[in-house]
């Protein structure tokens, strides 16, 4: 008998991390960024603008509870830090207005731009944020400030949630799907739609036709990459190019986007997790806002 | 201390007329015994209907999901034409005696034909050809010729004769309405624009569905009060709204009242805004020619503006350029109805023009209902990209 756990192929590993080499008590500004997305929630703590700790959790049915869960997880990991030790918190993401302990909310578009420069360096000019239920193509300057952006409309086709559904359908763990999709001798035609519902029906047809999982994944990721590239080309891709958000960890999607664009995506500095870009950007804004407030007080 | 604009009885009256437009028309009919004609699109010379004692009302949707129009309209026709037809099919316009359209776009034309065929109690319908090439030197002659036939059809149906005097009086009422609404829009040039885009939308759309003479009385009172009016809301980013018809309260409420950053629409360049009323009828001896000139030379709908070449040379774009300067517009929201081909064709040139002018802009695709959360993120991100330099340390 298959356990519930084993059948949850969509489930990606939640992470909680703290930089043990740093002592938060020495920091002048402790800032926090919460990225409350539709599928995942990140809480990031930064000490004087440097990453110190984070939690990357699945968003639950309640926005407030998801934000609380992420911040509690990271504080628990740190051990002796309390919420009141945090000087300023900025919330971002789809649920940014539902974070009760945030001092301010800033859009995920601005936060991903800022966070991408932290993760990839100031040469980044085009950021692709591939999230749980939307896609954003963002052009930034060397500070990560948004110059222009485009976001997909209502339909969430070709986003993280779609990939989760396909992994479940094919019984492929989501963390392995990207690699598997590259194990094809020849790239198949993309599936004709990235709409989750239609793609699901089409994929069932491909299963019946006897296509391998690898080939089906390749066809689906090919379609996802085509949709993404269309969005990128509308905003205009200017190197250097970087990808943030959860799908940036899917090599099968990333490689296909790179091939279609004829452009390599930057690699994150120091192995930083690009899924944290929004929360990092938020935490950096939180620091700037706190310093601005302090300056006003003087 | 002046009165708060939100409490002004005039604004509340516009809102009530907007919300209870069907009730208004039914009561008007009961009171006057007159006929009510629904019209699609703002190229219908309402003055001719008004001169015959008819109440012209613009046919609008309700922004509610529906699934009853698919047998009549293609899925990829715009949500507005579906929504208008849905109202008719649901019996909400059963008080109409007639229906008419001046040729604008194919989607609306199809909605009109289905409406005329399917809605109960419609005893008269008239399809009014109107030139697309409004920049053609013969366009006004053509329109006048069609207006003559339209007038004759109205006379035959109602059994009345529309005299020049009747037309003159109707033109006066309509011109007054236009002049007063232009005055209200003039106030919006100021640092404190007095009213919001939501108020302006209530004002303009209510003028499309009530007796203009009655509307004029309220407008006159508003124009008198506006200099003393105060607003307790922060103006924030001065937006201009450009695009298709847009009378969805949700969009205005979101952008002007529901975001983290303050923002105010100071001008609406759409057919539920300035495109409806901007420009009066220049009266002359030939009433129908005067009317034809007004409708042909008004700020055109993108379905009509066929001039080629430099976009700064196009009439609608010249108008937009002037408004941006005179109303001190800081950013533009292009709100286009999904599947609206005329606007879709215009938007690339419009974006180019705005880029050349250095005006930030954002394109939102309108549907029957709006993805409020996504729109909010986009508009807030646009505002963030326009300032907040000190956050980048």
DSSP sequence for A161-228: HHHHHHHHHHT--HHHHHHHHT--SSPPPPPS---HHHHHHHHHHHHHHT--HHHHHHHHHHHHHHHH
**Are residues A258 and A130 located together in one domain of the fold?**
yes
> Is there a contact between B391 and A134 if contact means CB atoms under 8 Å apart?
no
> Is there a contact between B393 and A288 if contact means CB atoms under 8 Å apart?
yes
Collect all residues of chain B within an 8 Å Cβ-Cβ radius of residue A109. Answer: 377-378, 381, 384
Which residue of A lies nearest to B361 if distances are taken between CA atoms? A148
Range of the structural domain that residue A238 is part of: 123-265
Mutation test of the interface with chain B: which of A33, A110, A283, A293, choosing the one with the most B Cβ atoms within 10 A? A110
> Is there a contact between B260 and A134 if contact means CB atoms under 8 Å apart?
no
User: Distance between CA B48 and CA B288 in Å, rounded?
Assistant: 9
Backbone angles phi, psi at B360, to 5 degrees: -60, 145
Q: CATH number of the domain that A176 lies in?
A: 3.30.420.40
Check: CB of residue A114 under 8 Å from CB of residue A129: no
The kind and range of the H/E element at A5 are helix A4-7
Collect all residues of chain B within an 8 Å Cβ-Cβ radius of residue A50. Answer: none
> Is there a contact between A151 and B374 if contact means CB atoms under 8 Å apart?
yes
pTM above 0.80, yes or no: yes
The pLDDT tens digits along chain B (393 residues) read: 467 888 899 999 999 999 999 999 999 999 999 999 999 999 999 999 999 999 999 999 999 999 899 999 999 999 999 999 999 999 999 999 999 999 989 999 999 999 999 999 999 999 999 998 888 889 999 999 999 999 999 999 999 999 999 999 999 999 999 999 999 999 999 999 999 999 999 999 999 999 999 999 999 999 999 999 887 789 999 999 999 999 999 999 999 999 999 999 999 999 999 999 999 999 788 999 999 999 999 999 999 876 565 566 688 999 999 999 999 999 999 999 999 999 998 898 899 999 999 999 999 998 888 888 889 999 999 999 998 788 888
User: What confidence score (pLDDT) does residue B295 get?
Assistant: 97
pLDDT at A131 over 70: yes
CA nearest A32: which of A58, A62, A60, A52?
A52
Collect all residues of chain B within an 8 Å Cβ-Cβ radius of residue A282. Answer: none
**Are residues A80 and A139 located together in one domain of the fold?**
no
User: Distance between CA B324 and CA B346 in Å, rounded?
Assistant: 17
CA nearest B247: which of B297, B192, B207?
B207
> Is there a contact between B384 and A106 if contact means CB atoms under 8 Å apart?
yes
The kind and range of the H/E element at B309 are none
Min Cα–Cα distance to chain B from A21, Å? 25
User: Distance between CA B16 and CA A97 in Å, rounded?
Assistant: 32
Judged by a CB distance cut-off of 8 A, whether residue B358 touches chain A is no
Check: CB of residue B351 under 8 Å from CB of residue B336: no
Collect all residues of chain B within an 8 Å Cβ-Cβ radius of residue A114. Answer: 392
User: Distance between CA A248 and CA A259 in Å, rounded?
Assistant: 15
Per-residue model confidence as pLDDT tens digits over A203-231: 888 999 999 999 999 999 998 898 889 88
**Are residues A13 and A85 located together in one domain of the fold?**
yes
Check: CB of residue A53 under 8 Å from CB of residue A18: yes
**Are residues A240 and A286 located together in one domain of the fold?**
no
Mutation test of the interface with chain B: which of A88, A103, A107, A155, choosing the one with the most B Cβ atoms within 10 A? A107
Whole-number Cα distances in Å, A198 to A156, A165, A191 = 12, 12, 10
Collect all residues of chain A within an 8 Å Cβ-Cβ radius of residue B374. Answer: 134, 151, 153-154
User: What confidence score (pLDDT) does residue A1 get?
Assistant: 42
Which residue of A lies nearest to B388 if distances are taken between CA atoms? A145
Min Cα–Cα distance to chain B from A289, Å? 7
Check: CB of residue A141 under 8 Å from CB of residue A147: yes
Whole-number Cα distances in Å, B56 to A46, B44, B246, B262, B340 = 63, 9, 20, 37, 25
pLDDT band at A156 (very low <50, low <70, confident <90, very high): low
Judged by a CB distance cut-off of 8 A, whether residue B75 touches chain A is no
Which residues, listed in sequence order, are joined to residue A129 by a DSSP beta bridge? A136, A244
Collect all residues of chain B within an 8 Å Cβ-Cβ radius of residue A143. Answer: 392
* H-only helix segments in chain B: 9-19, 21-32, 46-51, 79-89, 106-118, 139-158, 164-187, 197-207, 212-225, 249-252, 274-277, 287-297, 315-326, 341-357, 372-385
With b meaning 16 or more CB within 10 Å and e meaning fewer, what string describes B296-307? bbbbbbbbbbeb
User: What confidence score (pLDDT) does residue B250 get?
Assistant: 92
SS3 B216: helix
Question: What single string gives the DSSP state of each residue in B27-62?
Answer: HHHHHH---EEEEESTTS-HHHHHHTT-EEEE----
ipTM of the complex as predicted: 0.87
Any idea what the Cα angle at residue B280 is, between residues B277 and B285, rounded to 5°? 145
Mutation test of the interface with chain A: which of B385, B390, B393, choosing the one with the most A Cβ atoms within 10 A? B385
The kind and range of the H/E element at A76 are helix A63-78
pLDDT at A5 over 80: no
Judged by a CB distance cut-off of 8 A, whether residue B20 touches chain A is no
Check: CB of residue A52 under 8 Å from CB of residue A45: yes
Q: What percent of chain A lies above the pLDDT cut of 90?
A: 68
First to last CA, chain A: 67
Mutation test of the interface with chain A: which of B254, B363, B392, choosing the one with the most A Cβ atoms within 10 A? B392
User: Distance between CA A266 and CA A116 in Å, rounded?
Assistant: 10
**Are residues A128 and A108 located together in one domain of the fold?**
no
With b meaning 16 or more CB within 10 Å and e meaning fewer, what string describes A140-151? beeebbbebbbb
Number of domains in chain A: 2
First to last CA, chain B: 42
**Are residues A86 and A187 located together in one domain of the fold?**
no
User: Distance between CA B165 and CA B151 in Å, rounded?
Assistant: 14
User: What confidence score (pLDDT) does residue A193 get?
Assistant: 72
Cis? peptide before A240, omega within 30° of 0: yes
Which residue of B lies nearest to A112 if distances are taken between CA atoms? B381
**Are residues A127 and A261 located together in one domain of the fold?**
yes
**Are residues A150 and A213 located together in one domain of the fold?**
yes
**Are residues A69 and A129 located together in one domain of the fold?**
no
User: What confidence score (pLDDT) does residue B96 get?
Assistant: 98
> Is there a contact between B371 and A153 if contact means CB atoms under 8 Å apart?
yes
Q: What percent of chain A lies above the pLDDT cut of 70?
A: 95
User: What confidence score (pLDDT) does residue B307 get?
Assistant: 57
Per-residue model confidence as pLDDT tens digits over A105-130: 999 999 999 999 999 999 999 999 98
B385 vs A97, A134, A147: nearest CB: A147
**Are residues A261 and A131 located together in one domain of the fold?**
yes
Of B314 and A156, the one with more pLDDT? B314
Per-residue model confidence as pLDDT tens digits over A225-253: 988 898 899 889 999 999 998 888 899 99
Min Cα–Cα distance to chain A from B331, Å? 13
pLDDT band at A2 (very low <50, low <70, confident <90, very high): very low
User: Distance between CA A227 and CA B35 in Å, rounded?
Assistant: 52
Check: CB of residue B255 under 8 Å from CB of residue B216: no
Interface of A with B (CB under 8 A): 94, 97, 104-110, 114, 134, 143-149, 151, 153-154, 285, 287-289, 291-292
**Are residues A144 and A171 located together in one domain of the fold?**
yes
**Are residues A201 and A248 located together in one domain of the fold?**
yes
User: What confidence score (pLDDT) does residue A4 get?
Assistant: 44
């Amino acid at each position: 008998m298959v356990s519930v756990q084993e059948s949850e192929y969509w489930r990606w590993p939640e992470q909680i991390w703290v930089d043990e080499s740093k002592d938060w008590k020495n920091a002048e500004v402790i800032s926090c960024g919460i990225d409350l997305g539709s599928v995942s929630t990140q809480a990031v703590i930064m000490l004087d603008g440097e990453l110190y700790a984070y939690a990357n959790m699945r968003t639950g049915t309640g926005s407030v509870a998801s934000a609380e869960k992420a911040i509690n997880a990271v504080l628990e990991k740190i051990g002796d830090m309390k919420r009141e030790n945090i000087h300023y918190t900025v919330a971002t993401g789809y649920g940014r207005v539902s974070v009760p302990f945030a001092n301010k909310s800033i859009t995920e578009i601005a936060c991903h731009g800022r966070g991408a420069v932290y993760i990839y360096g100031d040469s980044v000019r085009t950021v692709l944020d591939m999230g749980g239920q939307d896609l954003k193509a963002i052009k930034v300057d060397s500070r990560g400030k948004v110059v222009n952006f485009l976001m997909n409309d209502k339909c969430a086709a070709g986003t993280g949630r779609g990939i989760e559904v396909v992994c479940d359908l094919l019984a492929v763990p989501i963390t392995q799907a990207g690699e598997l999709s590259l194990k094809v001798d020849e790239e198949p035609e993309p599936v004709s739609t990235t709409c989750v519902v239609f793609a699901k029906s089409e994929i069932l047809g491909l299963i019946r036709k006897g296509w391998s999982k690898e080939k089906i994944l390749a066809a689906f990721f090919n379609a996802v990459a085509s949709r993404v590239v269309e969005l990128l080309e509308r905003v205009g891709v200017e190197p250097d190019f970087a990808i943030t958000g959860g799908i940036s960890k899917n090599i099968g999607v990333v490689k296909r986007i790179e091939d279609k664009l004829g452009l390599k995506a930057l690699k994150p500095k120091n192995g930083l997790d690009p899924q944290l870009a929004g929360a990092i950007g938020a935490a950096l804004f939180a620091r700037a806002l706190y310093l601005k407030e302090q300056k006003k007080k003087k | 201390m002046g009165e708060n604009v939100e409490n002004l009885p005039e604004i509340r009256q516009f809102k009530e007329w907007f919300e209870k437009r069907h009730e208004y028309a039914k009561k008007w009919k009961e009171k006057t015994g007159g006929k009510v004609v629904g019209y699609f699109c703002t190229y219908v010379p309402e003055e001719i209907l008004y001169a015959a004692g008819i109440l012209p009302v613009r046919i609008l949707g309700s922004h509610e999901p529906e699934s009853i129009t698919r047998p009549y309209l293609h899925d990829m026709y715009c949500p507005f034409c579906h929504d208008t037809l849905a109202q008719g099919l649901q019996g909400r316009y059963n008080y109409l005696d007639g229906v008419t359209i001046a040729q604008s776009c194919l989607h609306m034309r199809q909605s009109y034909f289905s409406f005329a065929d399917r809605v109960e109690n419609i005893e008269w319908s008239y399809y009014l050809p109107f030139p697309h090439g409004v920049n053609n030197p013969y366009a006004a002659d053509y329109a006048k010729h069609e207006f003559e036939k339209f007038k004759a059809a109205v006379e035959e149906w109602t059994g009345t004769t529309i005299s020049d005097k009747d037309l003159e009086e109707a033109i006066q009422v309509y011109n007054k309405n236009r002049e007063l609404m232009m005055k209200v829009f003039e106030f919006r040039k100021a640092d404190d624009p007095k009213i919001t885009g939501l108020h302006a939308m209530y004002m303009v759309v209510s003028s499309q569905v009530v007796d203009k003479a009655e509307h004029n009385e309220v407008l006159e009172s508003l124009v008198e009060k506006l200099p003393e009016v105060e607003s307790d809301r922060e103006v924030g980013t001065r937006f201009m709204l450009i695009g298709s018809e847009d009378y969805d309260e949700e969009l205005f409420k979101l952008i002007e009242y529901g975001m983290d950053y303050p923002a105010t629409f100071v001008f609406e360049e759409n057919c539920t805004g300035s495109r409806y009323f901007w420009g009066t009828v220049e009266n002359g001896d030939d009433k129908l020619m005067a009317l034809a000139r007004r409708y042909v030379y008004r700020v055109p709908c993108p379905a009509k503006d066929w001039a080629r070449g430099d976009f700064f040379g196009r009439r609608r774009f010249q108008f937009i350029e002037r408004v941006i300067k005179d109303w001190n517009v800081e950013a533009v929201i292009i709100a286009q109805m999904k599947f609206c081909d005329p606007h879709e064709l215009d938007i690339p040139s419009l974006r180019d023009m705005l880029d050349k002018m250095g005006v930030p802009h954002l394109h939102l695709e309108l549907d029957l209902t709006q993805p409020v959360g996504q729109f909010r993120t986009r508009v807030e991100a646009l505002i963030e990209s326009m300032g907040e330099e000190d956050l980048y340390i």
